[in-house]
């Protein structure tokens, strides 16, 4: 072995160090790529001419790619629903609808997380939005701080799994699988998780009613007003989400088309609510552009990185390393899942899907699970496992960074210990969900096989 | 030193403006998708459109290519804009515990060692990429697609140039902050510091919890 054979390893090490300086991920990843291109040239394992392939890759991967057009559209839709107050109204109505059930307010937050999973596409933003909307109301109603924060963190991160999830769009694109299939596959695992939350909240608040007091009677609304509110604030957004997902699942529209319709629909809802003005529109467009620019700069940087990494023999090195370990596919899967779980402590899903996934993809392709999961299905199953795994990771103390965002927004009376204590039951539920999808791949694979065969 | 700050403001103007204007491209993008869907999925509209002379100019293939053209222009114009507004994801585990000055040093070296080399190398290479497209008269691979592919490809160069300008503006400000006289330091807009970030993060105050619920939904219905 020569020194230059280990360049990919050093490259990865330097990337990790660079990321921890806190300089933007997109630039670090691209900069490390360029630097190792030049280092590779010095050792004659890379040539200048190879750099010329990078714009081609960027172009084919990020620009001339109809699938990714869905990304800005979904971001626009989520931002518009939030800015135009549609999301907030929906939460209020859910609260009123669920007021008679034990833990109604917490259930409303979970239902909201399930329905509005689209939001803005970044975990931090979803957690901040959910906390601002729900936390004051829950604390004012006398909810236990642990239960309130746990529910909010868990429900706000559901968005990475439940379609239309931006992470699933990007993952499907990178793994060269169908976005529609992956969306359909994520439905059951997503619903499984949110029903686990539901059951937990109901059981817990029935046993200990004092941690989740019911809404006082003076805040009740008569049935007629409630009906009008449901018709105005609940039905339209739910129809919108059902339409977007339904048209993908029914094979009527591609995810890109559905995303466009969703964006248009969110605009219509804002008009309908009388909350669309120039200032709002400008704000939503600019926010969408900021998030899109951020996502795609990482995309561009990661393309450069993985091109150089592969060219220096990184992929080869990983496969050789995996063979050296001599594990069977289950052992490999556990190692990959554990690695992703640990990475999720420090990085958002964007870094993990865009940088790590392309590196792991060749390993996934050689996996074999016999009759447990067959052939092409493995990659769909794997993608969903990664999504559930990442969500769990974002919630796990002491790092789980959804918790830090929550702490950042929360009033001072909410201490980090409350958040840590409150999230533990939810992490347990997540692990049950993850184990179920692992043990019963049908959860992820049954719906696509029925709906899209 | 004050001069440097003025230059920084000028440099930042371009990516800010380009990003803000480019942001509106989402509107035509949505319109194009909606038009494309309605004219393809609804039978009677499809018939009407097929028979009209318009069809030649706005065929579904053209529209679908317009979709990714708009998307590409949108995100490339936003690259520098996102940096100016500190919208790029960072791993803030260690950085947020550092002093302002240390953070400024990180940003300073990051720009010099990562942002500049990246934008310069890929930017210069992309010129060749655009030139090839122009010289070969590259058009869409499908018969009825859009022509003049070099125009949209130039956005790759423009986008990276804007990111470079955004980086340059930030670098100048950090130079003033790090090496400039103390009295100027307060005038430097340092929006990349974690203290500046948390200053405009929304936060629920303890007092908000005592306030009675001003249920806006009941009044709005």
Q: What is the pLDDT of residues A36-50, one digit of tens each?
A: 999 999 988 888 888
The mean predicted confidence, pLDDT, of chain A is 88
pLDDT at A218: 56
- Asked if A274 and B50 count as a contact pair (C-beta separation under 8 A), the reply is no
User: Which band of pLDDT confidence, cut at 50, 70 and 90, is reported for residue A300?
Assistant: very high
* A136 → chain B, closest CA residue: B209
What pTM value is reported for the model? 0.90
pLDDT at A292: 92
CB–CB contact A33 B106 (8 Å): no
pLDDT at A400: 80
CB–CB contact B67 A256 (8 Å): yes
The percentage of residues in chain B with a pLDDT greater than 90, rounded to a whole number, is 51
CB–CB contact A261 B110 (8 Å): no
* Residues of chain B contacting A295 with CB distance shorter than 8 Å: 75
Q: Does residue A347 sit in helix, strand or coil?
A: coil
Mean pLDDT of A1-24: 88
Q: Which of A32, A71, A293 sits opposite B87 (nearest CB)?
A: A293
Closest CA to A93 of A216, A223, A234, A237: A234
pLDDT at B219: 34
- The residues near B35 (Cβ < 8 Å, ≥ 6 apart) are B58, B63
End-to-end CA distance of chain A: 49
pLDDT at A166: 87
Which residue numbers in chain B have pLDDT < 50? 214-221
Q: What is the pLDDT of residues A146-179, one digit of tens each?
A: 999 999 999 999 888 888 888 899 999 988 888 8
Q: What is the pLDDT of residues A118-154, one digit of tens each?
A: 555 677 778 888 888 889 888 888 899 999 999 999 9
> How far is residue A395's CA from residue A433's CA, in Å, rounded to a whole number?
14
Mean pLDDT of A334-358: 86
pLDDT at B214: 47
pLDDT at B221: 31
CB–CB contact B117 A31 (8 Å): yes
Choose from B107, B111, B122, B133 for mutation: most chain A CBs within 10 A: B122
Q: What is the pLDDT of residues A44-102, one digit of tens each?
A: 888 888 899 999 999 988 888 888 999 999 999 988 988 888 888 888 888 888 888 88
Chain B nearest C-alpha distance from A176 (Å): 18
Q: How many CA atoms lie within 13 A of B210 on its CB side?
A: 4
Mean pLDDT of A428-435: 95
* Residues of chain A contacting B204 with CB distance shorter than 8 Å: 131-132, 135-136, 409-411
User: Which band of pLDDT confidence, cut at 50, 70 and 90, is reported for residue A249?
Assistant: confident
pLDDT at A283: 92
pLDDT at B217: 41
Q: Which of A59, A221, A290 sits opposite B87 (nearest CB)?
A: A290
């Amino acid at each position: 072995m020569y020194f230059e054979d280990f360049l990919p390893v050093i490259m990865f090490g330097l990337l990790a160090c660079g990321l921890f300086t806190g300089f933007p991920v997109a630039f670090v990843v691209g900069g490390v790529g360029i630097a190792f291109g030049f280092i590779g040239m010095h050792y004659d394992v890379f040539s200048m001419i190879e750099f010329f392939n990078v714009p081609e890759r960027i172009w084919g991967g990020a620009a001339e790619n109809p699938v990714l057009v869905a990304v800005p559209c979904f971001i626009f839709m989520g931002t518009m629903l939030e800015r135009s107050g549609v999301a907030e109204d929906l939460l209020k109505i859910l609260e009123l609808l669920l007021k008679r059930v034990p833990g109604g307010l917490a259930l409303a937050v979970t239902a909201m997380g399930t329905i509005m999973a689209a939001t803005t596409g970044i975990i931090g933003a979803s957690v901040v939005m959910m906390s601002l909307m729900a936390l004051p109301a829950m604390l004012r109603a006398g909810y236990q701080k642990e239960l309130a924060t746990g529910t909010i963190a868990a429900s706000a991160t559901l968005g990475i799994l439940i379609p239309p999830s931006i992470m699933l769009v990007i993952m499907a694109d990178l793994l060269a699988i169908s976005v529609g299939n992956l969306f359909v596959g994520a439905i059951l695992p997503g619903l499984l998780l949110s029903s686990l939350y539901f059951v937990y909240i109901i059981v817990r608040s029935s046993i200990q009613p004092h941690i989740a007091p019911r809404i006082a009677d003076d805040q009740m609304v008569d049935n007629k007003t409630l009906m009008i509110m449901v018709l105005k604030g609940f039905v339209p957004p739910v129809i919108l989400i059902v339409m977007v997902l339904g048209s993908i699942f029914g094979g009527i529209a591609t995810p890109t088309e559905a995303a466009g319709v969703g964006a248009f629909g969110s605009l219509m809802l804002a008009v309908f609510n009388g909350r669309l003005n120039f200032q709002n529109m400008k704000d939503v467009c600019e926010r969408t552009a900021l998030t899109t620019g951020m996502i795609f700069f990482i995309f561009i940087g990661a393309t450069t990185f993985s091109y150089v990494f592969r060219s220096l023999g990184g992929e080869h090195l990983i496969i050789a390393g995996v063979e050296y370990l001599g594990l069977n596919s289950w052992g490999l899967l556990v190692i990959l899942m554990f690695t992703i779980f640990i990475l999720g402590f420090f990085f958002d899903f964007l870094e993990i899907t865009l940088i790590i996934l392309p590196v792991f993809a060749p390993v996934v392709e050689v996996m074999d699970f016999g009759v447990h999961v067959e052939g092409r299905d493995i990659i769909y199953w794997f993608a969903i496992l990664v999504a559930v795994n990442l969500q769990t990771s974002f919630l796990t103390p002491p790092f789980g960074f959804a918790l830090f965002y929550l702490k950042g927004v929360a009033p001072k009376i909410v201490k980090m210990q409350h958040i840590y204590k409150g999230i533990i039951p939810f992490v347990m539920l997540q692990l049950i969900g993850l184990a179920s999808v692992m043990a019963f791949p049908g959860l992820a694979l049954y719906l696509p096989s029925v709906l899209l065969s | 030193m004050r001069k440097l700050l003025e230059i920084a403001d000028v440099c930042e103007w371009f990516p800010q403006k380009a990003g803000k204007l480019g942001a509106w491209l989402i509107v035509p993008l949505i319109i194009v998708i909606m038009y494309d869907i309605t004219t393809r999925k609804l039978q009677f509209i499809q018939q009407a459109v097929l028979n009209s002379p318009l069809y030649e100019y706005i065929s579904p293939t053209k529209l679908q290519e317009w979709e990714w053209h708009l998307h590409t222009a949108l995100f490339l114009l936003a690259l520098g804009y996102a940096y100016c507004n500190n919208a790029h994801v960072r791993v803030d585990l260690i950085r947020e515990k550092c002093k302002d000055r240390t953070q400024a040093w990180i940003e300073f070296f990051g720009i010099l060692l990562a942002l500049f080399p990246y934008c310069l190398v890929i930017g210069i290479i992309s010129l060749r990429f655009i030139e090839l497209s122009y010289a070969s008269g590259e058009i869409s691979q499908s018969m009825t697609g859009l022509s003049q592919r070099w125009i949209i490809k130039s956005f790759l160069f423009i986008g990276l140039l804007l990111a470079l300008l955004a980086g340059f503006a930030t670098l100048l400000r950090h130079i003033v902050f790090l090496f400039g006289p103390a009295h100027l330091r307060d005038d430097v807009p340092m929006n990349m510091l974690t203290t500046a970030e948390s200053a405009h993060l929304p936060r629920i105050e303890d007092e908000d919890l005592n306030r009675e619920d001003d249920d806006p939904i009941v009044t709005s219905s």
